[in-house]
Amino acid sequence: MKGRKLLMIPGPIEFEPDVMQAMAIPTPSHVDPDFIETFGHALEMMREVWQSPSGQPFIIAGTGTLAMDMAGANLIESGDNALVISTGYFGERYAELLKRYGANVDILRAPLGEIVPLEQVESQLKKKEYKLMTFTHVDTSTAVLNDAKSLGALGRKYDVLTILDGVCSVAGEEIMQEEWGLDVVLTASQKAIGVPPGLALLVASPKAMQAFESRKSPVGNYYCDWTNWLPIMKAYESRTPSYFGTPAVNLIMALEVSLEKILKEGLEKRFNRHRLAGKAFRSAISALGLKMIPVNEAVSANTLSAPYYPEVVAGAELLKHISGEGVIVAGGLLPDIKGSYFRVGHMGAVNRNDLLATIGAIEAGLKNCNYSFEAGTGLKAILG
Ligand code: PMP
């Protein structure tokens, strides 16, 4: 297609044609038996993708922020203590959100490009009793990958509910919700799940549902209240009609297709494909002499990368050249250093050709910005 560009931002990503075809099917009623089957099946598959056999899945029209809001609204009561582990922009967002529901929020902030050391988290949990703790698996502003497994274990040890913001990780980075003891794992449709923007998705553990059921005060957010949505999710799963708010019918039909594809690929294979893509992309960026925000491989996300612009290169000009080469990447997001780095998503259906096209466009852009490097070194790194 003339003028077609490759979308390599950290969401929305490039979607698969059969997922897009589901979006174009004439919209059925939300209580059509075929759609009830689709919705129920999507809920069942979420349990598999989240690796949470006893979890309660929710599919709600909205964005990832709504999924964050839903977890906060249902689990926080005014006066509860909450601990936010922040590795960037989205940790700060979670802290603000929890305060709206009356939580007393403490924040542990990681130095730029790093995670908060587990010992520091543990000593904070020893110091004070918390009802819940949130952490971002992959903070999309820094490309830092958190240690979700160890944080889940700490939550279990200190009996604190754990919420994983997996908006930039679910179906891309390895997550075993139940085994790792994570109480809520939330995401949005437009990233590694591979469906256009518009769905908030989360799975809550039995412990999280129990905490919700034993609330003393009503949920302070009408749309988010699980009292309204839990019967709907249960009804769809038992294949019976129900209604609270009209579901995003076509998006859910697309979700069914995408979850089927994810499970068909196999979770292990998929996580590994993302690991390889992340590693290949980082090695290409390093070969070009660019530094990245995450300070080492262990804390580098596989779903996106965040390289700094070389000092001699004007960021806006480089992004314009990359776009001129047919590839869209994203600018920086973290307010203090926004103008000094850019972000490239490599998740979902991404393949080696996409990585080659992206590194090729970056090389062409760097050349146009008079950055000196040996042409082809990035491409060679992708080819391995
Ligand atoms: N958390 C993380 C880690 C994200 O990357 C994003 C979106 N970039 C969000 C939350 C918010 O999601 P949305 O933009 O869909 O509201």
Q: Which domains does the chain have, with CATH numbers?
A: 6-12+266-383 (3.90.1150.10), 17-265 (3.40.640.10)
The pLDDT assigned to 384 comes to 87
Give the Å distance between the CA of 333 and the centre of ligand 1.
Answer: 12
Give the Å distance between the CA of 238 and the centre of ligand 1.
Answer: 31
Q: Is the CB of 259 under 6 A from ligand 1?
A: no
Give the Å distance between the CA of 64 and the centre of ligand 1.
Answer: 5
- Report the alpha-carbon distance of residue 10 to residue 167 in Å, rounded: 10
With the most atoms of ligand 1 within 8 angstroms of its CB, the residue from 167, 169, 201 to mutate is 167
Kindly give the number of the ligand 1 atom that is closest to the alpha carbon of 10: 8
Q: Is the CB of 188 under 6 A from ligand 1?
A: yes
With the most atoms of ligand 1 within 8 angstroms of its CB, the residue from 90, 139, 175, 186 to mutate is 90
The pLDDT assigned to 4 comes to 83
Q: Is the CB of 12 under 6 A from ligand 1?
A: no
Q: Is the CB of 136 under 6 A from ligand 1?
A: yes
- Report the alpha-carbon distance of residue 18 to residue 196 in Å, rounded: 12
CB contact set of 115 (below 8 Å; sequence gap of 6+): 87, 144, 145, 146, 147, 299
Tokens of 308: 């700094």
Q: Is the CB of 94 under 6 A from ligand 1?
A: no
Kindly give the number of the ligand 1 atom that is closest to the alpha carbon of 141: 5
What separation in angstroms does the CA of 158 have from each of 65, 122, 136, 155, 176? Answer: 27, 9, 19, 5, 19
Q: 268 in helix, strand or coil?
A: helix
- Report the alpha-carbon distance of residue 336 to residue 354 in Å, rounded: 30
Give the Å distance between the CA of 43 and the centre of ligand 1.
Answer: 21
Q: Is the CB of 377 under 6 A from ligand 1?
A: no
Phi-psi map region of 266: left, alpha, beta (phi>0 left; psi -120 to 50 alpha): left
Kindly give the number of the ligand 1 atom that is closest to the alpha carbon of 65: 16
- Report the alpha-carbon distance of residue 253 to residue 234 in Å, rounded: 18
- Report the alpha-carbon distance of residue 143 to residue 249 in Å, rounded: 32
Cis peptide before 12 (omega within 30 of 0): yes
Give the Å distance between the CA of 260 and the centre of ligand 1.
Answer: 23
The CB density around residue 73, as the number of other CB atoms within 10 Å, is 22
Q: 296 in helix, strand or coil?
A: coil
The pLDDT assigned to 178 comes to 98
The pLDDT assigned to 183 comes to 98
CB 276 within 8 A of CB 259: no
- Cα pseudo-dihedral 343, 148, 230, 140, rounded to 10: -10
With the most atoms of ligand 1 within 8 angstroms of its CB, the residue from 136, 168, 190, 251 to mutate is 168
Kindly give the number of the ligand 1 atom that is closest to the alpha carbon of 63: 15
By C-alpha distance, which of 182, 381, 198 is closest to 276? 381
The pLDDT profile of the chain, 384 residues, written as one tens digit per residue, is 567 899 999 999 999 999 999 999 999 999 999 999 999 999 999 999 999 999 999 999 999 999 999 999 999 999 999 999 999 999 999 999 999 999 999 999 999 999 999 999 999 999 999 999 999 999 999 999 999 999 999 999 999 999 999 999 999 999 999 999 999 999 999 999 999 999 999 999 999 999 999 999 999 999 999 999 999 999 999 999 999 999 999 999 999 999 999 999 999 999 999 999 999 999 999 999 999 999 999 999 999 999 999 999 999 999 999 999 999 999 999 999 999 999 999 999 999 999 999 999 999 999 999 999 999 999 999 998
Residue nearest to atom 5 of ligand 1 (CA): 140
Bridge partners (DSSP) of residue 163 are 134, 184
Query: Parallel, antiparallel, or unpaired: how do β-strands 81-86 and 104-109 relate?
Result: parallel
Q: Is the CB of 168 under 6 A from ligand 1?
A: yes
The distance of Cα 1 from the centroid of its chain, to the nearest Å, equals 30
Residue nearest to atom 9 of ligand 1 (CA): 64
Residue nearest to atom 2 of ligand 1 (CA): 167
